[in-house]
């Protein structure tokens, strides 16, 4: 996967940080300059961090483990959902439920309940009144909106990719408690030390989020492809030793 060029990242507005008064001093190593009261992110550091994070995500995908994508901000949720779906990875784009990771067994019960309702609605043998079907459909839709992205997640993911770690602080906290590998887009108002693989960039502009998320997803695709290729290679049959 080719890393986006300096110009591509510049055109996407990756370098625009927050107002100086909102900055987190721990972001200093990633800030290039201040212009008109706004911090400008060093794109060279962004590229460096993207490549480092991409290699790690590729390795996780190659190992067959799951990476959860998290983005509940309006300008990021749709594109992150599509990106996660393209590689069959779990995602949360509506609301992060407290305990989604730290109380995963309870969340799984809710998912099973949702799936049970789905089966009842699809089973023609189940007799339901019009009112019962409407009530169950509404409940199913409400649950699917929040839990649909993790409906096929049977155990905790190995890692989590977060858009705006400041906004998704609960997800970051739960991941830390469980020792999950953490990746995230980190703007100038956030603490990059909270996660394992920070990517300094504008986490508000959709173009910035998209170009970085797409790169990470391409790295995941490469990992999955290499895993498939490795699985397709069957060991050659053993040959009998030659007779003397």
pLDDT for res 103: 94
Distance, C-alpha 180 to centroid of its chain: 12
DSSP-based three-state secondary structure for 19: strand
d(CA 116, CA 209): 36
79 near 12, Cβ under 8 Å? Answer: no
Q: What are the pLDDT digits (tens) for 20-54?
A: 999 999 999 999 999 999 999 999 999 999 999 99
54 near 1, Cβ under 8 Å? Answer: yes
DSSP-based three-state secondary structure for 38: strand
The model carries a pTM of 0.89
Q: What are the pLDDT digits (tens) for 48-99?
A: 999 999 999 999 999 999 999 999 999 999 999 999 999 999 999 999 998 9
Tokens at residue 44, please? 């060279």
Torsions phi, psi of 236, nearest 5?
-65, 145
Task: Name the strands in the sheet holding 67-70, side by side, starting at the edge strand that comes first in the sequence.
Answer: 91-92, 67-70, 159-163, 181-186, 197-200
DSSP-based three-state secondary structure for 174: helix
d(CA 20, CA 5): 27
pLDDT band at residue 233, thresholds of 50, 70 and 90?
low
DSSP-based three-state secondary structure for 244: coil
156 near 178, Cβ under 8 Å? Answer: yes
d(CA 214, CA 220): 10
d(CA 85, CA 1): 19
pLDDT for res 123: 84
CB atoms within 10 A of CB 134: 11
Please choose, from the candidates 12, 45, 53, 22, the residue with its C-alpha nearest in 3D space to the C-alpha of residue 188.
Answer: 22
232 near 66, Cβ under 8 Å? Answer: no
Distance, C-alpha 63 to centroid of its chain: 17
* Residue 39 burial by Cβ neighbours in a 10 Å radius (0-12, 13-18, 19+): buried
């Amino acid at each position: 996967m080719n890393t986006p060029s300096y110009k591509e990242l510049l055109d996407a507005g990756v370098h625009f940080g927050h107002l100086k008064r909102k900055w987190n001093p721990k972001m200093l190593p990633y800030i290039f300059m201040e212009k008109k009261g706004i911090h400008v992110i060093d794109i060279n550091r962004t590229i460096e961090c993207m490549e480092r994070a991409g290699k790690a995500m590729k390795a996780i995908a190659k190992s067959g483990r799951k990476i959860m994508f998290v983005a509940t901000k309006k300008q990021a949720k749709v594109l992150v959902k599509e990106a996660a779906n393209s590689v069959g990875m779990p995602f949360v784009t509506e609301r992060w439920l407290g305990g989604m990771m730290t109380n995963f067994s309870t969340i799984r019960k809710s998912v099973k309940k949702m799936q049970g309702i789905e089966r009842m609605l699809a089973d023609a043998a189940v007799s339901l009144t019009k009112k019962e079907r409407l009530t169950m459909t509404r409940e199913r839709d409400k649950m699917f909106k929040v839990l649909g992205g993790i409906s096929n997640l049977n155990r905790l993911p190995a890692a989590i990719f977060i858009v705006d770690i400041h906004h998704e602080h609960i997800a970051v906290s739960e991941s830390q408690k469980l020792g999950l590998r953490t990746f995230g887009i980190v703007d100038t108002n956030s603490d990059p030390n909270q996660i394992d693989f920070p990517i300094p960039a504008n986490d508000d502009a959709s173009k910035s989020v998209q170009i970085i998320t797409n790169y990470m997803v391409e790295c995941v695709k490469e990992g999955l492809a290499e895993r498939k290729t490795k699985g397709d290679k069957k060991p050659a049959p053993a040959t009998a030793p030659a007779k003397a």
